[in-house]
Structure 1
């Protein structure tokens, strides 16, 4: 069974529309991507937003993102990145086809979205509690004979970019130890 998924990361929206980051109008850029997604045939089953959805972590940025996403008839799930404010996201990014769940299934696939956010830091980290939850979710998906797509914001290994490698997942070996226990993980994506 096929599940058609589109991943978007690092929108970096601002409280005020059409602000620029590194010379790019982040909102206009996102709207062009949204237009391209809406033109896909068939439409994706799911949209995964994998962090840094707002540059400033403002409620206004998340509210506008929610409004923009209402134009897409696609179930959308999200996780936080190092520029995001999780509490504000939880308040603003729910309703309609926008979902805050971090574990869900479609067809014979289980999707697990990990929170690697460390408030005030660029790098990410997975707490003992998060890793325990991950292990439990992986055991549940294995019992259901599901394939697994795992998502997090922070890269769990060096990507060869000085800029991006500064925001990598710290102590990634802790994640890999859990993943090594399971053979039904098909894909790990990050923002």
Structure 2
């Protein structure tokens, strides 16, 4: 199974720039790269901060652009998204699916909402954690592996610019992962760069590239520590019990 992760698009309702970058043009370039490279994949994971301003117009732009891929797109919301506008705009296209729980081949994918409206940092509510526990237990009985998808990261990645707004109760998720060896992978957005960090003995945190700009490693200043030259997406190749992860940068 092959998956493309697109993350942190930060599309606006107009053509204004984000960190001095045209995020609409960058997303257009990412989709064209996927189309023209003829890369094989089964579906898209869209891991939050799809919009920068939560506007219906921004989601309509994303829906129009990503529809060209003609693949299912499983999405979660990020801290910049307005969830009601996101879901209402995507709901008329059956290819766009709000990720909750899906079983594909030997893998169960679990989408968790880590967002608090109006806040940059994240939190997993008791109901989201309980949902995760139920699905994880069910997957264990079926002898399936698990992938958890959140927007925020539960572990510090070493970049102060983004480490001040992780999942504030992220240790609850980390403990859950460490206790269940069939959880192999935690995929997040939010951090605007690629990190691969081991969780316990069984899993890794893999964070996705932003489709328009990255936060520099160890950066702490939102004005000066932005990498405006590199953008792209993340590619996952899942076999029966393991995976490989690749970073795809657009020239």
Rounded Cα–Cα distance in structure 2 between residues aligned with 1:176 and 1:20: 36
Residue aligning to 2:133: 135
C-alpha separation between the residues in 2 aligned to 1:153 and 1:64? 21
Q: Distance in 2 between matches of 1:72 and 1:22?
A: 27
Per-residue deviation, residues 29-68 of structure 1 (Å, max 9, x unmatched): 0111111222344431011011100000011111111111
Match of residue 97 from structure 2: 99
CA distance in 1, matches of 2:19, 2:39: 33
Q: Aligned equivalents of 1:38 and 1:150: distance in 2? A: 27
Contact 2:49 2:79 in 1 (8 A): yes
CA-based RMSD of the aligned residues comes to: 1.3
Work out the CA distance in 2 between the residues paired with 1:86 and 1:56. 11
Determine if contact 1:70/1:96 at 8 Å carries over to the other structure: no
1:70 aligns with 2:53: no
Matches within 5 A, 1:1-191: 3-16=1-14, 18-94=15-91, 95-191=93-189
What are the ranges of 5 or more consecutive residues in structure 1 without an aligned counterpart? none
Which runs of 5 or more residues in structure 2 are unaligned? Answer: 190-251
Task: Give the Å deviation of 1:71.
Answer: 0.5
How many equivalent pairs are there? 188
Structure richer in helix, relative to its length:
1
Taking the aligned partners of 1:136 and 1:119, their CA distance within structure 2 comes to 25
What TM-score comes out, normalization by structure 1 length?
0.93
Distance, in Å, in 2 between the alignment partners of 1:40 and 1:5 is 15
Check the 8 A contact 1:57/1:84 in 2, yes or no.
yes
